[in-house]
Amino acid sequence: MELWIQENQTENLALKARVKETLFTKKSIYQEIGIFDTEEFGRMLVLDGVFQTSEFEEFVYHEMIVHVPFYTHKNPERVLIIGGGDGGSAREALRHKDVKEVRMVEIDGDVVEACKKYLKQNSIQLIEEDKEPRFTLEIGDGIKHVEETENYYDIIIVDCSDPIGPGEGLFTKKFYQNVLRALREDGIFVQQTESPFYHQELLKRVYKDVSTSFNYANVFLANIPIYPGGLHTFTIGSKKYDPLKFEEILPRVKEDLKYQYYNKDIHKAAFALPQFFKEILDSAAK
């Protein structure tokens, strides 16, 4: 039997992975959830037909969305993760022993339950949440949580799906201004912001909005093979710390944490942008 899961990455481009076994499917209130055991990527989470994360390569996304803002900050203690229902971002954040509080606000409890059961590599911390007093999971609306919070978090990580469906409100100027208020005076915000090859209009808009809200706005890159084009962006907004001051940032890197993708060279290299993309962002900021 030939069983394949196919993501239509654009109207004219599709990526297909051979499936060993369908482990879980459910229509939640928010989206269609699938977890498939694939030959190429191991277990993979799929939301509304879009490949989200897999055992094969999840380390790239989660190490980069967490460790880059963490080391850019001098001493992050309170961390908010919006989305991130698979648990990978919480897992990486909690590897930092100095962190006092990691709160995850995920809108779709069904994603969390499915990943607890079928995607344990990502969700190990969720499973063991009873043993980790620093971690709080809230099933709820991250947009609302940020609206109601003031001067509290050191880092806010937006680990969301595409800006269609439940993730839509996380890509608005109003949201970024609420994030700004929810952060302490030296706080940092980071968000996954899609592909530099395929989502340039979105990227220009987000970069412009983050630039007008934060003192520092930068985009960094990571190679994520299951995403369109294999190259993905993260947008970082920072109130006080300049994400390009590598001479201050890199000495903070904890060498004893075992990384699979991240290292000091990669941290710095991630901010080097291809010429076409640099020009797009430069024109957006004008």
- Identity of the amino acid at 28: S
Q: Does 39 bind its own copies (CB under 8 A)?
A: yes
Which tokens is 15 given?
């990526």
CB of 231 to its own copies, least distance (A): 4
CB of 96 to its own copies, least distance (A): 17
Q: Does 278 bind its own copies (CB under 8 A)?
A: yes
| Interface characters, 242-261, with its own copies (x: CB under 8 A) | -----------------xxx
Strands (E), 147-230: 153-159, 183-192, 216-223
Known catalytic residue at 242 = no
| Alpha-carbon gap, residue 217 to 141, rounded angstroms | 25
Q: 55: closest CA among 37, 68, 33, 81?
A: 37
Stretch that binds its own copies, among 67-75, 123-131, 181-189, 229-237 (CB under 8 A): 229-237
Stretch that binds its own copies, among 67-75, 92-100, 167-175, 271-279 (CB under 8 A): 271-279
DSSP string, 234-256: EEEEESSS-TT-HHHHGGG--TT
Cα dihedral across residues 153, 155, 156, 157: positive or negative: negative
Task: Measure CA of the first residue to CA of the last residue in the chain; give whole Å.
Answer: 54
| Interface characters, 178-197, with its own copies (x: CB under 8 A) | -------------------x
The smaller minimum CB distance to its own copies, of residues 64 and 188, is found at 64
| Alpha-carbon gap, residue 218 to 190, rounded angstroms | 10
Counting residues that bind its own copies (by CB under 8 A) gives: 44
From 159, 186, 209, 242, the catalytic residue: 159
Strands (E), the chain: 4-10, 13-27, 32-38, 42-47, 50-54, 78-83, 101-106, 135-139, 153-159, 183-192, 216-223, 231-238
CB of 114 to its own copies, least distance (A): 23
| Interface characters, 6-25, with its own copies (x: CB under 8 A) | x---xxxxxxxxx-------
Under the rule (CB under 8 A), what is the footprint of its own copies? 4, 6, 10-18, 38-40, 57, 59-60, 197, 221, 223-225, 227-231, 259-263, 265-266, 268-276, 278
Catalytic annotation, residues: 159
